[in-house]
Amino acid sequence: MKLVTAVIKPFKLDDVKDALETFGVQGLTVGEVSGYGRQRGHTEVYRGAEYTVDFVPKVRLDVVVADDDAKDVVDVIVKAASTGQIGDGKVWTTPVDELVRVRTGERGSEAL
Amino acid sequence: MHIDAGDTAWVLGSAALVLFMTPGLALFYGGMVRSKNVLSIMIQNLACIAIVSVVWAVAAYSLAFGPDAGGGFIGTFHLAGLAHPEMAVPGLDLHVPPLAFAAFQMMFAVITAALLTGTGADRMHFNGFLALAALWTLVVYAPIAHWIFSPNGWLAQRGVLDFAGGNVVEVDSGASALALALVLGVRRGWPRETMAPHSLPLTVLGAGILWFGWFGFNAGSALGSGSLAAQALIGTQLAACAGVVGWLIVERWQTGHATTLGAASGAVCGLVAITPACGFVNSMAAIVIGLVGGVVGVLAVRVKFRFGYDDSLDVVGVHGACGLAGTLLVGAFATKAVNAHIAHEGFVTGGGGYLLGVQALALLVTIAWAFSGTWLLSQLVQRTIGLRVSNEVEVQGLDTAIHAESAYDFASMRAGQAGF
């Protein structure tokens, strides 16, 4: 199994969620995060004083999928989250050792 | 003493308008601080109304407007405790009850002290501020009000013109703010760290309330409801608008953006600049004065970065610098066509340089007294009950650390998150 993690633009969340549902992903976890990449932050001006805002609001998604699906899920997210503009975000995968469904105690791919 | 019903109604109403400016100031300043300190600003302004009103009634009113103690320097305690309410205010030919005048002037003392909350924002302790506000009203504000607002004052006797407090309120608070900023020292992390306003909508609402109340402040200073009040009111409106234009043009040119905070600040700068002048100059001069106010303001708020004093919300730049500009411009544009009672006209209006000279004298004396008086009082408070909060309190935020409350419940504001 693999954990697919994506950091995307907040307004792209609905598109990504719909695309993942269409692909057949059963669930995902979402959080509001902030950070920066090569895009960096932006500048604000108050009474002539310039402030650099380093951390830009983003949405982070986590979804656990079967090994065979991981590459396709990454592609689905990248396609749905892309605007072609700077600051679109990143997607990465991490190996997952163990997965348990809390209610039933099912383990491994049965818990997906 | 003849009491005029219309004059009395307008002065009483104006007292209420000027009172409303201080909660307006609380919003104006509250929006500009970080979210952890917004309530400290609010309570300091509310408590300032409470404490200065009482100090005013008990003693400060008499020091400012009571019978002169000699030399036009200070009033006696004859009116202390608002005694002798039937006695005419010395030197003034009023058609309103003396207590209406005392109430109206009370609100001026309140907001002048309240302006100091803008300089101490983020680091001034509530207890220390209250002590400072009470002492400051007696030692700094009351004498300056006597010199200029009381016709028996030594500066008023020399022909100094200050219709609604360009000197007594604005330059006074600006010079005091500079001294307070120096005694308090800079905030932790200033100017390196971001200390951006947490809610500009609050600031805009506050600016709107200030603007609204300023009609009572300026037009109420006619102390009657006739044509002079009307001239002061229209001049006030025009100067506020010109102040917005002046600030935004320079800001757009300097930074590439016209900002909301700039528009709100520009309005206040225009209002400050016209304050000493609105009962002495015509409407077109009011536009010029407001425009100058806006331009002076946007340039003056940058000065603190060059000299390294942390005047948090720019009381020096907005009130000191624009009040100074407006007071000098009275020396240019004052005319008997607007106010027949003045002794000298401005140099543009054909009166020569005398008025400009005494206006400059009044500025120098006001700045010297306000700066040194505030510096000494701030040191006194700092060394006794304390004026600056501890580092720990400053980092945590004054709202939770001193007042045990927070303005916003961030935990439950985000939909779908557990409120832990």
**Number of CB atoms found within 10 A of residue A13's CB:** 17
Model pLDDT for residues B231-287, shown as the tens digit of each residue: 999 999 999 999 999 999 999 999 999 999 999 999 999 999 999 999 999 999 999
For residue B301, give the nearest of B158, B184, B293 by alpha carbon: B293
* Torsion of the alpha carbons at B119, B122, B123 and B128, rounded to the nearest 10: 70
**Number of CB atoms found within 10 A of residue A59's CB:** 19
What's the pLDDT at B91? 93
> B255, B302, B313, B318: which to substitute to probe chain A, counting the most A Cβ within 10 Å?
B255
Read off the pLDDT band of B418 (50, 70, 90).
very low
SS3 B269: helix
- Would the CB atoms of B255 and A47 count as touching at under 8 Å? no
Checking ipTM against 0.90, whether it exceeds it is no
- Would the CB atoms of B251 and A46 count as touching at under 8 Å? no
Domain count, chain A: 1
Residues of chain A with pLDDT under 70: none
Distance, in Å, from the CA atom of B38 to the CA atom of B27, rounded to the nearest integer, reads 9
Q: Which domain holds residue A54?
A: 2-111
What's the pLDDT at A42? 84
Mean pLDDT of chain B: 96
* Residue B281 structure tokens: 């100059």
Mean per-residue pLDDT for B52-75? 97
Distance, in Å, from the CA atom of B406 to the CA atom of B420, rounded to the nearest integer, reads 15
Model pLDDT for residues B115-130, shown as the tens digit of each residue: 999 999 999 999 999 9
Q: What angle do CA B238, B242, B244 make, to 5 degrees?
A: 120
Give the domain ranges of chain B: 5-404
* Residue A69 structure tokens: 């699906």
Q: Which fold has domain B5-404?
A: Ammonium transporter fold (1.10.3430)
Partner residue opposite B254 with nearest CB, options A32, A48, A53: A48
Whole-angstrom Cα Rg for chain B: 21
Whole-angstrom Cα Rg for chain A: 17
**Phi/psi zone of residue B352: left (φ > 0), alpha (ψ -120 to 50 degrees), beta?**
left
Q: Measured between CB atoms, does A31 come within 8 Å of chain B?
A: no
Q: Measured between CB atoms, does A51 come within 8 Å of chain B?
A: yes
- Would the CB atoms of A51 and B194 count as touching at under 8 Å? yes
**Phi/psi zone of residue A40: left (φ > 0), alpha (ψ -120 to 50 degrees), beta?**
left
Checking if the pLDDT of B225 tops 60, the result is: yes
Burial, A98: exposed, middle or buried (Cβ in 10 Å; 0-12, 13-18, 19+)?
exposed
Note whether B312 and B119 are within 8 A (CB): yes
- Would the CB atoms of B414 and A32 count as touching at under 8 Å? yes
Give counts: helices (H), strands (E), chain B. Answer: 20, 0
Partner residue opposite A47 with nearest CB, options B191, B194, B261: B261
* Residue B18 structure tokens: 């000027």
Note whether B335 and B348 are within 8 A (CB): no
- Would the CB atoms of A48 and B414 count as touching at under 8 Å? no
Q: Measured between CB atoms, does B255 come within 8 Å of chain A?
A: yes
Looking at beta carbons, which residues of chain A come within 8 Å of B414? 32
Predicted TM-score (pTM) of the model is 0.88
Within chain B, what is the greatest distance between any pair of CA atoms?
Answer: 72
Q: Residue B414's closest chain A neighbor by CA?
A: A32
**Number of CB atoms found within 10 A of residue B406's CB:** 14
Model pLDDT for residues B362-416, shown as the tens digit of each residue: 999 999 999 999 999 999 999 999 999 999 999 999 999 999 999 998 766 555 4
* Residue B159 structure tokens: 């022909």
Q: What single letter denotes the amino acid at residue A82?
A: S
Looking at beta carbons, which residues of chain A come within 8 Å of B298? 47-48
Checking if the pLDDT of B101 tops 80, the result is: yes
Distance, in Å, from the CA atom of B315 to the CA atom of B369, rounded to the nearest integer, reads 17
For residue B180, give the nearest of B242, B136, B212 by alpha carbon: B136
Give the Å distances, CA to CA, from B386 to B115, B125, B179, B375, B382.
20, 7, 16, 14, 4
In which residue are the tokens 């970065």 written? B305
Distance from CA of A51 to the nearest CA of B (A): 6
Distance, in Å, from the CA atom of B371 to the CA atom of B416, rounded to the nearest integer, reads 53
